[in-house]
Amino acid sequence: MNRSKELTEYLYRISEAKLQLMVTLLEATQEQQQALEEENLEVLDQAIGKKNKIIEKIDVLDKEFAEKYQDLKEALGIEDLSKVEEEPVEGFKDLKEKIQEIMATANKVNQMDQENMKKMKKDMEKVQSKIKNARTGKKAMGSYNKKYKQSESIFIDKKK
C-alpha cells in the first residue's frame, strides 16, 4: 500500500472518531440548552463539564489530523486538498465527505452555543438586577431600622 493511501485511510479513521465526538458534543450542547430552559444549574454544570472533556479529546484528534494532513499534502504534492476535485488517492472522496459531515455538525454545535450564551447572558442580567434590587431594598430597610439618638428637645417651652 502506498504512503498516500495509508495517510488517507488514517485521516478517515481520525475523522470518523471526531464525528462521533462531535455528535456527542452536540448532544451535550442540547442537554445544556435544556438545563438553561429549566434553570437546572446542576444539570447545566454537568453538561458543561461533559462538553469540556469532549473538547479535550477533539483537540487531541485535531492535532493528530493536522500533522497527518500535512504529510498527505506533501506526499501528493498538493497545497490545498480542499480544492482538489478529482480523487488523487483511493478513499480521498470519502475523507472529504466525512470532513463535511464534521463541519456541518460543528456548525450546529456553534449555533446552539451562541443561543445558549445569549440565554446565559440574559439570565445573568436578571440575576444582577435582582441582586441590585435586593441591595437597594436592604439599604432602605436599614435606614428605617436605625435607632435615633435620644436628644433633648431643641424647643424649650418658656412660659411667662
Task: Residue 28: name the closest of 52, 58, 4 by CA.
Answer: 52
| Chain Cα centroid distance, residue 37 | 16
pLDDT digits (tens, 9 = 90+) for 15-58: 999 999 999 999 999 999 999 899 888 998 999 999 999 999 99
Task: State how far the Cα of 14 lies from the Cα of 98, in Å rounded to an integer.
Answer: 10
**Length of the chain counted residue by residue:** 160
What is the distance in angstroms between the CA of the first residue and the CA of the last residue of the chain? 125
Neighbour count for residue 36 (Cβ, 10 Å): 21
- Residue 43, domain member (yes or no): yes
Q: Which domain holds residue 57?
A: 3-116
- The answer to whether residue 74 sits within a structural domain is yes
pTM for the structure as a whole: 0.74
Is residue 135 one of the residues assigned to a domain? no
110-138 pLDDT tens trace? 999 999 989 888 877 777 776 777 677 66
- If one counts the domains in the chain, the total is 1
Per the domain annotation, does 125 fall within a domain?
Answer: no
C-alpha cell, 149: 439618638
